[in-house]
Amino acid sequence: MRRLALGLCCVMAAATLAACSRDPAPGPTLDAFLAGWHSGNMSAVGFVAPDGQGVPAATVTEQLKALSGELAKTPPALRTVNEPRVSGDLANADVAVAWPVAAGVSWDYTTAVQLSRNKEKQWQVVWAPTVVHPKLAAGDVLGTTRVGAPRAGILDGSGAPMVTDRTVYRIGVEPKEFLAKPASLTELDAALKAAGASVDVSGLPARLAGAKEGIFVEVVVLREEPFNRVRARLEAIDGVFLRKDTLPLAESREFARALLGTVGEVTKEIMDAKPGVYNVGDEVGLFGLQRQYEDRLRGAPGLTVVARRTAADNSVTSTELWKSEPKPGAPLKTTLDPAVQRAADAALRGLGRRGAIVALNVKDSAVLAVANTDDANLALEAQVPPGSTFKVVTAYGVMSSGAVTSDTPVPCPAELVVDGKPFRNAHGFSIPGSVPFHTDFARSCNTAFASLAPRLGASGLADAGRAVGVGVPWDMGVPAFSGSVATGGSLAEQAAAAFGQGRTQVSPIALAAVAAAVARGQWQQPRVLVDPAPASPAAAGPSLNASTVDSLRQMMREVVTSGTASDLSDVPGAVYGKTGTAEFDNANANRTHAWFVGWRGDVAFAVFVFDGGDSTATAVPLAEKFLRALPQA
């Protein structure tokens, strides 16, 4: 009997388990609901209201989309925290919600989902707004508000901010009132020109034609000083309105502009490139360091998630559900010296063509100034022929190899034919008699240098270039071109390369670094960013041949005392340098870039004028303006 009873118990237990296994668990329904919430398709889920009435899945889909409001386009990631807890015909589960509310920002919380089992033993989700969030009610709509983080500054070499919030004025017009008086356009154009603003207002009427009445259409933003010069004129123009604001700006519009960049209203292109990061009207770095290091400088804005409810009288109330505090941006630390930068900017002012000046500290190659005539950073990024400035590299190559000394006679004829190609000196000059090499250098004799090309061989010029950093891979943390030196080629091509023509390309900063290397006796990579430091800066080069650089320094001093840059001979302090006029247009040999590179004291520099003609007429006078404005130690 005992065995029979035991067997009967086992049969009864098996029957009970079989009966239980036929009732579905709530887990699959919960999983289907979470998948539908994320995808927006609830067709696989059944729903009931808290009072037990059935709710169509389409209705839940619509209500969920309405509740999600601004966040509907970025559905949350969802996962169950635990298995549903079943009690009779009800089950409860906790669900972890990770809702992307901005780029890189997630609103994380836990909500409760209840399920109910119907007469057919099928589980259904009990639908209510509290499923989305415990504090939501019918009619609520999720939204966000943002608080911008304080934008960090860009610091100079002493750690002082160069870019700070400065007062600006936004000049705009109201379409109807402005268009009602045709003279307003002429008056606005004249006032903006008097303020020095380079803005073309001729297309403004067409732009306003489709604009809504009563809105503010911005035309230009002026700094405080030029605005004050024309304020009265602007205030007198019908339809013109003025708004005071602040923007992070350097001390002047031209101050290291191409390097530092600017901050302005975010463009559609930037918003499209980083969806979800910006809202219309946000301020963003537009180019230069401000753009390259936008994420670091901008920081992280504060964000609040709210539930908004609109009452019958159209008033809106908000309930805060979650908040993140803004995180200030981190500053950039540079090596710039404001006094040197001002001198460089002042030298280029009014040039009337594209040009650049870059300056380095001879002791450590810290960049002291980066000046350009427009927003293109020619000072660091230009890729242009160096012309006769490259005779510094050629001279180092032939003297360090022992091929010549500074006193070796090297003839300077008016013309030299190499492999059938004629080479001439600027303006067709020649130097009669036995000419020492240092004189060829000071007078910038092309034919003398072309004749020395065979002594360098196919790779000697490139080797000499690398010794002073030309063509060495750099990492400055900003775009910069270290140069490339022509190698090999025909005898004629090697002859052209010997005086900076042919395929050799440089930037002003590459040549300024050459000058600093000669002055110091060793090449070091230029550096402009201290924090964040570049990831892979080039190692310092080997010490240069001491006797060669000593002779080369004397030769570069002779360029100033009695050579092609003699106009600098009365500039205070001992100036060393080399002029350069570089052909760049194969169709027109008369088009040339103008150069001067050199140093005085601890400041090495390069002056470059695009299509500037003869260096003595453009680059040398700019160098003089720069040096006379430069504070002396």
* pLDDT for residue 16: 40
Residue 452 has pLDDT above 70, yes or no: yes
* pLDDT for residue 22: 63
> Are the C-beta atoms of residues 612 and 619 closer than 8 Å to each other?
yes
* pLDDT for residue 515: 98
Average pLDDT value for residue range 592-599? 96
> Are the C-beta atoms of residues 93 and 83 closer than 8 Å to each other?
yes
* pLDDT for residue 586: 78
Q: What is the mean pLDDT of the chain?
A: 92
Query: Which CATH code for domain 338-629?
Result: 3.40.710.10
Distance CA 563, CA 559 (A): 4
22-135: CATH, from 3.10.450.50, 3.10.20.310, 1.10.10.10, 3.90.25.10: 3.10.450.50
* pLDDT for residue 589: 75
Q: How is residue 434 written in tokens?
A: 């036995």
Distance CA 599, CA 551 (A): 16
Residue 514 has pLDDT above 60, yes or no: yes
User: Quick one: which H or E segment has residue 510?
Assistant: helix 508-520
Least confident of 159-173, 430-444, 494-508, 579-593: 579-593
- pLDDT cut 70: percent of the chain above it: 96
> Are the C-beta atoms of residues 77 and 98 closer than 8 Å to each other?
yes
User: Quick one: which H or E segment has residue 80?
Assistant: strand 77-80
Q: Work out the burial of residue 58: count CB atoms within 10 Å of its CB; fewer than 13 is exposed, 13-18 middle, 19 or more buried.
A: exposed
pTM for this one?
0.82
pLDDT, tens digit, 9 for 90 and up, residues 235-271: 999 999 999 998 888 999 899 999 999 998 888 899 9
* pLDDT for residue 42: 93
Q: How is residue 546 written in tokens?
A: 């001491």
Average pLDDT value for residue range 220-238? 94
- The runs of H, that is alpha helices, within 114-241 are 175-179, 183-194, 204-209, 224-235
* pLDDT for residue 595: 97
154-330: CATH, from 3.30.70, 1.20.120, 3.90.1310, 1.10.3470: 3.90.1310
* pLDDT for residue 12: 41
Residue type, 146: R
pLDDT, tens digit, 9 for 90 and up, residues 5-30: 333 333 344 434 434 446 789 999 99
- pLDDT cut 90: percent of the chain above it: 79
- Best CA proximity match to 140, nearest among 240, 70, 211: 70
Alpha-carbon torsion (502, 505, 508, 512), positive or negative: negative
* pLDDT for residue 3: 34
* pLDDT for residue 612: 92
Helix-helix angle 391-400:446-456, to 10 degrees: 40
Q: How is residue 297 written in tokens?
A: 């400088």
Average pLDDT value for residue range 109-119? 96
Query: Where along the chain do its domains lie?
Result: 22-135, 154-330, 338-629
* pLDDT for residue 469: 96
pLDDT, tens digit, 9 for 90 and up, residues 91-104: 999 999 999 998 78
pLDDT, tens digit, 9 for 90 and up, residues 36-80: 999 999 999 999 999 999 999 999 999 999 999 999 999 999 999
DSSP letter for each residue of 94-144: EEEEEEEEETTEEEEEEEEEEEEE-TTS-EEEE--GGGT-TT--TT-EEEE
